[in-house]
Amino acid sequence: MNTESNPLENIEDWEDDLLRRYPESKDKKNEKDFRDYENSDRAAGVRAFYKLNHQYQCYDFVSEKEAKFLQFKQRKMSLWDAVDFLNTLVDDSDPDIELDQLQHLLQTSEAIRADGHPDWFVLTGFLHDMGKVLCLFGEPQWAVVGDTFPVGCSFSKKIVHSEYFDLNPDSSNPDFNTKYGIYSENCGLDQVKMSWGHDEYLYQILKDYLPQEALYMIRYHSFYAQHKEHAYDHLMNATDHKMFEWVKKFNPYDLYSKAPVPPDSKALRPYYEDLVSKYLPDTLNF
């Protein structure tokens, strides 16, 4: 893999960085997640990753990716074929990463199930990162993962590594570099174009099949500048505020459900097969 365009050794390094930024509790620092992180190659990789992400995720770039991928002409697959496909993303060069993609999805969904949430919430946990198949369609890491943010208006200083937005052409475009840019006050996030990645892509694939709460969780789960930092209240409407309660409810399951014992994917499969077939058609267009 070309390290210049893909500076993360493993795309999970982005999620490990989230754990560092948003620890589960302030006193309970997780030794494994923080060990030598600041000065490590992985930290440098994450910085290089955000530099590329913030430099290239401009309004026109997002429009191009939407035009390409929202025709859903990459592959027709059952959800289960997509799971197998996604699982080929495992990178075994890093001994710290024991979990494959399926295990992250199952840990998230099983933690949601253990708390007695409705079945569509469990399903959302199981599906939420399926959009990462974009990596397997040849997309660079910075166009698949990472914090997402609105394009078409000024970039908040609360976005991680916001200093790199100086490199983004939209920062010097007067149409885009004001507080509201092309949007209006409290216009609603449905009117707002977000940086391109696995969240928006999966939302667009599933938007006809899941309840609104689930769709918000999928579409905005990487929008940390809002669900953790509240940097874009001025673009949100009343529905967004109500639905972001679900995005916030979802986040700990995504970040903090990594258990030392991996879930038994074979044993769990029948339950998830029933759940998937309850909500989704036999094949999906990716």
Which residues of this protein are in contact with Fe ion, per CB under 5 A? 129, 254
Token readout for 29 is 């620092």
Measured between alpha carbons, how far apart are the two ends of the chain, in Å?
23
Token readout for 26 is 């302030």
Residue 15 or residue 240: which is nearer to Fe ion going by CB? Answer: 15
Which residues, at least 6 apart from 246, have a Cβ–Cβ distance to it below 8 Å? 213, 214, 216, 217
Residue 149 or residue 183: which is nearer to Fe ion going by CB? Answer: 149
36 exposed, middle or buried (CB, 10 Å; 0-12, 13-18, 19+)?
exposed
* CA-closest candidate to residue 260, choices 42, 125, 29, 96: 96
* CA-closest candidate to residue 10, choices 99, 121, 108: 99
Residue 129 or residue 200: which is nearer to Fe ion going by CB? Answer: 129
* CA-closest candidate to residue 153, choices 169, 185, 175: 175
Least distance to Fe ion, CB of residue 178, Å: 30
Residue 200 or residue 254: which is nearer to Fe ion going by CB? Answer: 254
DSSP reduced 3-state for 285: strand
Report the alpha-carbon distance of residue 88 to residue 248 in Å, rounded. Answer: 30
Least distance to Fe ion, CB of residue 109, Å: 11
Residue 103 or residue 237: which is nearer to Fe ion going by CB? Answer: 103
Least distance to Fe ion, CB of residue 24, Å: 15
Least distance to Fe ion, CB of residue 104, Å: 6
DSSP state of 63: H
Least distance to Fe ion, CB of residue 4, Å: 24
Least distance to Fe ion, CB of residue 101, Å: 9
Residue 9 or residue 129: which is nearer to Fe ion going by CB? Answer: 129
